[in-house]
Amino acid sequence: MEERVPTSELRTPAWLTEAPADALDPQEPDEQAAGEDPDDVPEWAKEDGSPYTPTYDPAPRPGDPDYVDDDDPDAAGPDPNTVADEAAEADADGEPGRGAGDAGPSVPSVADAEETAVLEPVVLEPVGPDSAEGPDDDAPLADTAVLPPVGDEAGDAEAADAEPAEAEVDERPVVARSSVLGGAAAGAASASQPTADASSSEVAGEAPPSAEANAETSTAAPWADAAAPAASPPASPDRSEHGAAASDATGARETGDHAARPRRKGRWAIVPLAIVALGVLYVGAQALLSGTVPRETESLGVSIGGMSAAEATGALGDLGDAVASEDLVLETSGLSYTTTAAAAGLAVDADATVDQVTGFTLAPQRLWMHVSGGGHIEPVVTVDQEALDATVAEAAQEVDGPGVDASVSIEGESVEVIPGRPAVEVDQAASAQLVAAAWPGFRTVALVADVMEPDITDADAESFAQTIDQQYLAGPVTLVGDDVETTVEPATVASHATVVTGPNGLELEIDGAALAAQMVADDPELATEGESASVTFDDDHEIVIDEGRPGITIDGDALADVIVAAASAPDRSGELPYTAAEAEVSPEDLGIPDLKEVVASFNTPLTADRVRTQNLRTAAADVQGTVLLPGDEFNLYEVLSPITAEEGYGDAPVIVDGVLTAGLGGGLSQMATTTYNAAYFAGFELLQHRPHSVWFARYPAGRESTLWGSTINVRFVNNTPYAAVINSYTDGGSLHVDVWSTPHFEVETSASPKTNVTQPGTKEVRSANCEAKGPGQPGFTITNTRVVTLDGEEVDRNVDTWTYQPDDAIRCVSEDEQDDDSDDS
């Protein structure tokens, strides 16, 4: 009947670890005593019965690591005798944990067990007395168990002293079918062989480490066929042949090796002392070098290797101050702001920088730096955040702004690019962090900003400037007309050219009209002048209209495009554009279409004074041909000025302060009165006039005017929608004023009766230029009313009341006569 034993309860019986007395080391009585105590033999070993013999499968199957193909001469396994010899040599080295009676690989130590906490399960196959042929391949596998982690020595001792959990468990050794393990667990997988060392026996008794749970990978133990020496310990009469051979071989090795070679514990005693000595040297070296900068150490571009901490701090402190005073440039997209690191609140902390490579530490890297060199160390930077934020804010104020397109300017024949700028918005918080992280390694720092390039970049402007310089202004262009040819120089074109921004980018704009005018001025044969329109009057005082004729000149509107096209042509030539040249005065300037008929006319009689009449003829010539377009104002004084002898005016009688005297331009008040009445009946808007102080019977009472500079003047406005022209002349003993236009208003006038009539008297005048005269007209008050209608509706009403003074007789009195009159009185 098959019995399955949990591997956690397998223990190596003490009788298997017993070694012959002559095999024990006389210098280790503890180990010898452990093998001689008869009480260590368990009760079940003393009972009669078949021994529990470990078995193995002598025939590996295909696929096992130790499988050997008989037909392959190169696949023969190792010689069993060689394997046994190698095992004996391993035992002779005195490995710790091996004792008398060891026949195979040693049981793993506690240290090995600590590295292998969980062991692979072992497949157990109990072998009966009749199983010499090997186990049945079809038999079911035994139960498996996972061993717990092996603890310290105390735990191992407790486990060794503990009684088996079940009395019926057979404590005889078993052989695992697979002993292939890794690391320290490989040795534990063969712990079925007895050991003489007490502690090893306890560890092995915890539970034999198991192999992979694949029974088909097992191989025969290499020591199974070793020859047993005569000094092997006595075995049970029921033990199998294989068990006896293994035991004898183990005894022989233990007896020969351990008896001839004593244990070597002395050499292990010096290891702790060496470690302590090395530690003292290491700490001393670190302490000795703690105040010195490692060799070949550099910071801020200056070598500080080998300096003391104080020397290095002083050197870096001076250099840090100098670096902080240098320019710090904050820039983005070609826009920059310059300050200093010190102003931005940045400084080098020399003490903290040197502390990185000095001061006591146990870190091995520091000691290695003294050996291999410290290399570059980054300086420690202190940051005044408030000052840094203020500096970045100033930089943002300098570079922030909307985008501006680049452009091109033309000065003379020089073409220059006017740079634009992108739209920039600085991220001040991120920029401040970047500046603090970059300095002092970088003295120019790119600000963190949202940047949007303008529609026209500097590159676009430079490309267009190159086109202007190498094409449009590269040389003269030739323009050919019907009978003329002209050359336009680049300087002439440049003086009238500008660069503007169009819908498609930069464009060259040429003022064609100005260029054409300059070309004609430089070469008058390029154009013919037109004849201006005019309005004159014939001898019958009828209107004569000449609409004039246009000339021929260069078409300024087309000239710009022609210049550009000619500059782009291979031969740099083109056709000269012509157009009709407007006359200086066009028919429209004169309102000729509106001058259809006389819409108002008035005349006043001339006197017998020859000079006075001449003055009126001169004035009539000045007034004749005056054109009033709709809304134009007529100003008589401005039309007649200057009133000088050079203009044809002479001295004639005038009234000054009530006294008739001679004056330059005398008689012009008659021109004022006649012109005023013509405007009165044309329906024009009356702005200014003033009647004489005394009434002259040749003028309508209250509807006349005098003239004295700009103070007393005649002014009115053409308030019709048509142009008008005034004709004035002397004919038939009268002064005439006609208004030519298109009929528009209807005018009616009326005068009130004369009231407040006052008869004239005699007035004595004491003046060298006094001229005596008889009494004139009496004084009176009169009112004139004008009603203006348009299509039967009244549009204006003027009511004008005036009071005349009586025209007294003038009696010139001398000084003698005045004295006589005084005596008479």
Supply 52's token pair.
Answer: 């529990």
3-class SS at 600? Answer: strand
Residue 330: name the closest of 427, 448, 451, 447 by CA. Answer: 447
Gap between the Cα atoms of 785 and 799, Å rounded: 4
3-state helix, strand, coil in the chain (%, to 5): 35, 25, 45
Gap between the Cα atoms of 374 and 294, Å rounded: 5
Specify the pLDDT at position 657.
53
Are 384 and 345 in contact by the 8 Å Cβ rule? The answer is yes
Gap between the Cα atoms of 307 and 285, Å rounded: 17
Residue 359: name the closest of 295, 449, 428, 289 by CA. Answer: 289
Gap between the Cα atoms of 737 and 741, Å rounded: 13
Residue 347: name the closest of 329, 315, 323 by CA. Answer: 323
Q: Regarding beta strands 375-376 and 297-299, do their DSSP bridges make them parallel or antiparallel, or are they unpaired?
A: parallel
Specify the pLDDT at position 68.
55
Residue 228: name the closest of 242, 245, 253, 206 by CA. Answer: 245
Gap between the Cα atoms of 496 and 510, Å rounded: 6
Are 99 and 192 in contact by the 8 Å Cβ rule? The answer is no
Cβ neighbourhood burial of 781 (10 Å; 0-12, 13-18, 19+): middle
Peptide bond into 440 cis (omega under 30): yes
Can you give the three-state secondary structure of 704-758, one letter per residue?
Answer: CCCCECCCECCEEECCCCCCEEEEEEEECCEEEEEEEECCCCEEEEEECCCEEEE
Gap between the Cα atoms of 191 and 176, Å rounded: 10
3-class SS at 569? Answer: coil
Specify the pLDDT at position 582.
79
Cβ neighbourhood burial of 52 (10 Å; 0-12, 13-18, 19+): buried
3-class SS at 638? Answer: helix
Are 520 and 554 in contact by the 8 Å Cβ rule? The answer is yes
Length of the chain in residues, anyone? Answer: 825
Which residue(s) pair with 479 in the sheet?
486, 574
Handedness of CA 771, 772, 777, 780 (dihedral sign): positive
Backbone angles phi, psi at 509, to 5 degrees: -115, 120
HSE-CB at 500 with a 13 A cutoff on CA atoms is 8
Are 329 and 338 in contact by the 8 Å Cβ rule? The answer is yes
The pTM of this model reads 0.43
Residue 215: name the closest of 133, 123, 126, 120 by CA. Answer: 123
Q: The tokens 């262009």 sit on which residue?
A: 477
Helix segments in 487-536, DSSP class H: 490-494, 512-522
Supply 214's token pair.
Answer: 């694949």
Q: What is the pLDDT of residues 315-367, one digit of tens each?
A: 888 888 999 999 999 999 888 999 999 999 999 998 999 998 998 888 888 88
Specify the pLDDT at position 266.
59
Can you give the three-state secondary structure of 49-99, one letter per residue?
Answer: CCCCCCCCCCCCCCCCCCCCCCCCHHHCCCCHHHHHHHHHHHHHCCCCCCC
253 CB neighbour count, 10 Å cutoff = 25
Q: The tokens 């929608």 sit on which residue?
A: 721
Q: What is the dihedral of CA 223, 224, 225, 227, to 10 degrees?
A: 60
For residue 792, what are the contacts with CB-CB under 8 A and spacing of at least 6?
Answer: none
Specify the pLDDT at position 362.
85
- What is the Cα gyration radius of the chain? 69
Read out DSSP for 398-456?
HH-B--B--EEEEETTEEEEE--B-EEEE-HHHHHHHHHHHTTT-SEEEPPEEEE--SS
Distances (CA, A) of 226 to 51, 81, 231: 21, 7, 14
Q: What is the pLDDT of residues 163-189, one digit of tens each?
A: 444 434 344 433 333 333 333 333 333
Long-range (24+ apart) CB contacts under 8 A made by 137-145 are 139/2, 140/2, 141/213, 141/215, 142/2, 142/4, 142/5, 143/4, 143/5, 143/6, 144/7, 144/210, 144/213, 145/6, 145/7, 145/8, 145/121, 145/207, 145/210
Q: The tokens 């009696």 sit on which residue?
A: 811
Gap between the Cα atoms of 771 and 277, Å rounded: 151
Which residue(s) pair with 382 in the sheet?
347
Specify the pLDDT at position 343.
93
Residues of the chain with pLDDT under 50: 1-38, 40, 45, 52-56, 73, 75-77, 79-84, 86-260, 658, 820-825
Specify the pLDDT at position 655.
61
